[in-house]
Amino acid sequence: MSTRIAPDVVRVIYRHLELIGNRTRLDLILYTRGGDVLTPWRLVNLIREYTEHFSVLVPFRAYSAGTLLCLGADEIVMGKMGELGPIDPSIINAFNPQDPSNPSARLPVSIEDVYSYMTLIAEKMGNYDEGTMARAFLLLAEKIHPLALGNVQRNWLLIRSLAHKMLGLRRGALTAEQVQNIVEYLTEKLYAHNHMIARREAKEDIGLPVTYADNELNNMLWAIYEDVAADLKLAEPFNPVEIMRGNRTEFEVASGLVESEYGSDYFVFSGVVERKDYPDTGQVNVNINKQGWRTL
């Protein structure tokens, strides 16, 4: 069971910030595999209502939308295992191609894959030819709905605009050249959405405002990560067969956490596991009845 950065977390973090109150500086320890790309903009603006200096501490993964959130921080503190990632999202909407293995689902379309396809055609031709490019685009439009391609273009512009705006929230201004290098690196120059950016690459190659956590801080951050990972069972795949008790078992699984000195909020899935008469033995049916944040 997994969660992603989404707009509903803004209200949860607001509750914690109200309890914390205004501080000279605020630190956010972040672990995420990604999520909605618009939420980091709202989150960073909210956090800056309470502090003049905002730092993000990355003990392990802060991918995609997590990396975008880091761009809005005055300081990115990365441990030895700290990882950032590209910010080029994959787009899913009603006009995307159907998933052959699941007709009710839609396949994601990678923004950079679309642009790389057109770039490939242009570069392999040697000389730019409008007729060839037009035929290449028509072939693409036969596979991907034109409105899905239009959505790709909008999000191509959006992610670059957001990255520029996030970097503009920093107290220490970057030069236009630095900003452009960061945006291009994170959207175009890594070539793989699952590329893992270690702290040395983030600081020296990309030019992000990264601070290396010293050994003491690194150990503290990793201990916090391991504590959360154990709490949310991040290393344990959700296996409904293992929790079956009889033919019907109710369950709750916590898969997200916002925590401060004033308490904890968990994102909890509640559901039922039922054993049905399937052709293959050992199969069960899982129904999620409720999901949402719960304050403890």
Q: pLDDT per residue over 30-85, tens digit each?
A: 999 999 989 999 999 999 999 999 999 999 999 999 999 999 999 999 999 999 99
Asked if the model's pLDDT at residue 122 lies above 60, the reply is yes
Q: What is the mean pLDDT of residues 249-257?
A: 93
Prediction pTM value: 0.83
Q: Contact 68/40 with Cβ under 8 angstroms?
A: yes
Helices (H) and strands (E) in the chain, counts: 9, 13
**If pLDDT is split at 50, 70 and 90, which confidence band does 102 have?**
confident
Cross-sheet strand order for the sheet of 23-29: 23-29, 51-58, 75-78, 210-212
Indicate the pLDDT class of residue 153, thresholds 50, 70 and 90: confident
Q: How large is the average pLDDT for residues 4-25?
A: 96
pLDDT of residue 105: 74
CA neighbor of 66 nearest in space, from 49, 47, 90, 83: 83
Percent of the chain exceeding pLDDT 70 equals: 92
Residue with tokens 């590329």: 195
Lowest mean pLDDT among 123-132, 137-146, 265-274: 123-132
Please give the average per-residue pLDDT across 152-167, as a whole number: 87
Over the chain, what is the mean pLDDT? 88
Query: Which two three-digit tokens encode residue 88?
Result: 């080029």
Strand arrangement of the beta sheet that strand 248-260 belongs to: 248-260, 263-275, 284-295
116 compared with 200, residue with greater pLDDT: 200
Residue 93 has pLDDT above 70, yes or no: no
Question: Among the residues of the chain, which ranges form H helices?
Answer: 8-20, 39-47, 65-71, 111-125, 130-143, 146-168, 176-187, 199-200, 215-232
Instruction: Annotate 258-272 with b (16+ C-beta within 10 A) or e (fewer).
Output: bbeeeeebbbbbebe
Question: With 70 as the cut, is the pLDDT of residue 282 above it?
Answer: no
Give pLDDT, residue 3: 87
Phi and psi at residue 211, in whole multiples of 5°?
-115, 135
